Amino acid sequence: MAVRTQFAKMNGLGNEIIVADMRGRADHVAPGAAIALNGDPATKFDQIMAIHAPRTQGTEAYIEIINSDGTQAQACGNGMRCVVQALAAETGRREFTFETIAGILTAHEHADGMISVDMGKPRFGWQDIPLAEAFHDTRQIELQIGPIDAPVLHSPSVASMGNPHAIFWVNQDVWTYDLERFGPLLENHPIFPERSNISIAHVTSRNAMTLRTWERGAGLTRACGSAACAAAVSGARTGRTERTVTVTVPGGPLVIEWLDNDHVMMTGPAEWEFSGSFDPQSGQWQRDETAPSQGAA
């Protein structure tokens, strides 16, 4: 059996996150271990944020992001806030620079405990999402679901926040749509060769919208930070909103700012639940019996 790794079970507005401390070791969390952890109600998660030793000078760590189906993701906004809270508790520092498969990003914890993550620049080219065919205007692409003459959802905006997002705009309560039914069909639609995160957005003012997301590789979630960013920039890009938007997801509000330098800043909370250790090969785990404490290590 492999040496166990320490983890913290956390959440970012209800997006279920496992922060795993893989520093000082060469192995990775195996897809089978992720699937096993997700199969246990106590450790059920949306993403594992595996903290590895830094690969690039000037960064704190390399973060590997693993969906609950064992696949890798390029971005996870809520997970990054959990990583920041765990490392801030461990080190006493508030400013961090991380590397992910999608590049370098910075984040900081505010004095009130809220955490801002610079999610980088959005990309809108059809090859960047990616889409399987050329669309020169990705503010609205041809895609619909439901009866051909009365589609339930149609004409989404698409954007990449490092990972692929499709945002379907609706004029009524986002809870009136059966996202559990449409999500998997749209996630796996042939237009998305790398699958996609699927969101439904209802703009309620120039600075606010509500959002529900079916996550690629994880399913229905209570929050998706990168989807909130993709929805905010798409809202501004299509003239529906200003560049600063409060995006209310089922777990609560996230503030998204599309800055003049084109970077997208996401601000929200993170919450520690419990700590333990698991075998990164099998996913066998146990809860720490010691007094409650926070931090990945």
Ligand X SMILES: N[C@@H](CCC[C@H](N)C(=O)O)C(=O)O
**Interacting span for ligand X (CB under 6 A) from 76-84, 100-108, 127-135, 185-193:** 76-84
Mask: binding to ligand X, 78-117, rule CB under 6 A, as x and -? xx--------------------------------------
d(CA 42, CA 121): 35
d(CA 181, CA 174): 14
Among 6, 15, 85, 157, binds ligand X (CB under 6 A): 15
Size of the site for ligand X (CB under 6 A): 19
Closer residue to ligand X (CB): 59 or 197: 197
Which positions from 118 through 147 interact with ligand X, judged by CB under 6 A?
A: none
Among 75, 145, 211, 254, binds ligand X (CB under 6 A): 75
Closer residue to ligand X (CB): 183 or 279: 183
Q: Is residue 76 among the annotated active site residues?
A: yes
Minimum CB separation of residue 173 from ligand X in Å reads: 22
- Please state the three-class secondary structure of the chain as a single string: CCCCEEEEEEEECCEEEEEEECCCCCCCCCHHHHHHHHHCCCCCCCEEEEEECCCCCCCCEEEEEEECCCCEECCCHHHHHHHHHHHHHHHCCCEEEEEECCEEEEEEECCCCCEEEECCCCECCCCCCCCCCCCCCCCCCCCEECCCCCCCEECCEEEECCCEEEEEECCCCHHHCCHHHHHHHHHCCCCCCCCCEEEEEEEEECCEEEEEEEECCCEEECCCHHHHHHHHHHHHHCCCCCCEEEEEECCEEEEEEECCCCCEEEEECCEEEEEEEECCCCCCEEECCCCCCCCCC
Which positions from 181 through 210 interact with ligand X, judged by CB under 6 A?
A: 197
78 is in an annotated binding site: yes
Catalytic residue among 33, 63, 76, 200: 76
Mask: binding to ligand X, 41-60, rule CB under 6 A, as x and -? -----xx-------------
Catalytic residue among 131, 179, 224, 270: 224
Q: Is residue 224 among the annotated active site residues?
A: yes
Annotated binding site for substrate: 15, 47, 67, 77-78, 163, 197, 215-216, 225-226
Q: Which residues bind ligand X (CB under 6 A)?
A: 15, 46-47, 67, 73, 75-79, 163, 197, 215-218, 224-226
- Catalytically active residues are 76, 224
Annotated binding site: 15, 47, 67, 77-78, 163, 197, 215-216, 225-226
